[in-house]
Amino acid sequence: MGGTFDPIHHGHLVAASEAAHLLDLDEVVFVPTGQPYRKDAAEVSAPEHRYLMTVVATASNPRFTVSRVDVDRPGPTYTRDTLRDLRRLRPDDELFFITGADALGQILSWKGVDELWELAHFVGVTRPGHDLTDSGLPQDKVTLLEVPAMAISSTDCRERTAAGEPVWYLVPDGIVQYIHKYALYQEETP
Ligand SMILES: Nc1ncnc2c1ncn2[C@@H]1O[C@H](COP(=O)(O)OP(=O)(O)OP(=O)(O)O)[C@@H](O)[C@H]1O
Ligand SMILES: O=C(O)c1ccc[n+]([C@@H]2O[C@H](COP(=O)([O-])O)[C@@H](O)[C@H]2O)c1
């Protein structure tokens, strides 16, 4: 599952857990982006903070791991490169790329989209406020799943923190502590 994870929240974790359960996956590898080129760089936290928060949030689940492939690769993060790297590191594994409905809806505009279908099977999961559809996508390369609805976004978590509102129970307890320890998201997004 790729994401900016700024911060990782229970929407990500429930989606990953449910996809692993429904598709009987052995492992979910969370891959924090290095440079999410479609997000305003000035507003995205340092990759190391996002990577560490992802490690903290997933540490207690034996089926969850975190990969540094995107954080360690210089330049903009493209899923084509993520999947090429994961295939090189895990040549015997079958790869599934988990995305929320919003990300799946953008996928035809991703770099090198035609190659993506050869690199992994795509799993689109429901997300409140977004229509989940595989319209225009190759049917045999995409699976759509309904997962428990978690109306949580990282944007909302950042804005709540900046406004002095709690994010308890939207994110894991360790992430509440991490945000506090490093004073993340203190500024209101312009
Ligand atoms: N609440 C949610 N339910 C299901 N999928 C989600 C949810 N939140 C995020 N996702 C999916 O997780 C992946 C990573 O999302 P991302 O890290 O950008 O989180 P976000 O909450 O959308 O962040 P932001 O608000 O900063 O854009 C994407 O595929 C996204 O669609
Ligand atoms: O490859 C692309 O062109 C591309 C464009 C936008 C997003 N993605 C990937 O989609 C995942 C979710 O991205 P984001 O920005 O919503 O956190 C993450 O793994 C990104 O690298 C990939």
Ligand 2, CB within 6 Å, residue ranges: 2-4, 33, 36, 38-39, 77-80, 103, 110-111
For 98, list phi and psi in degrees, rounded to 5. Answer: -90, 130
Sheet holding 96-100, edge to edge: 96-100, 121-125, 142-145
Which of 123, 138, 125, 120 is closest to 80 using CA atoms? 120
Q: What is the arithmetic mean of pLDDT over 112-121? A: 97
Return the pLDDT at 187.
80
Q: What is the arithmetic mean of pLDDT over 36-51? A: 96
Specify the pairing of strand 2-3 against strand 121-125.
Answer: unpaired
pTM for this predicted structure: 0.98
Please give the number of the atom of ligand 1 that sits closest to the Cα of 8. Answer: 17
Domains of the chain plus CATH, in order, are 2-151 (3.40.50.620)
Residue carrying structure tokens 């991703």: 110
Q: How much of the chain, in percent, has pLDDT values that exceed 70? A: 98
Confidence tier at 9 by pLDDT (50, 70, 90): very high
Return the pLDDT at 162.
98
* Token pair of 70 as six digits: 């995107």
Judge contact between 105 and 130, C-beta under 8 A.
Answer: yes
Q: What is the arithmetic mean of pLDDT over 47-64? A: 98
pLDDT per position as a tens digit, 140-177: 999 999 999 999 999 999 999 999 999 999 999 999 99
Pocket residue to mutate for ligand 1, from 153, 159, 189, most atoms within 8 A of Cβ: 153
Return the pLDDT at 188.
67
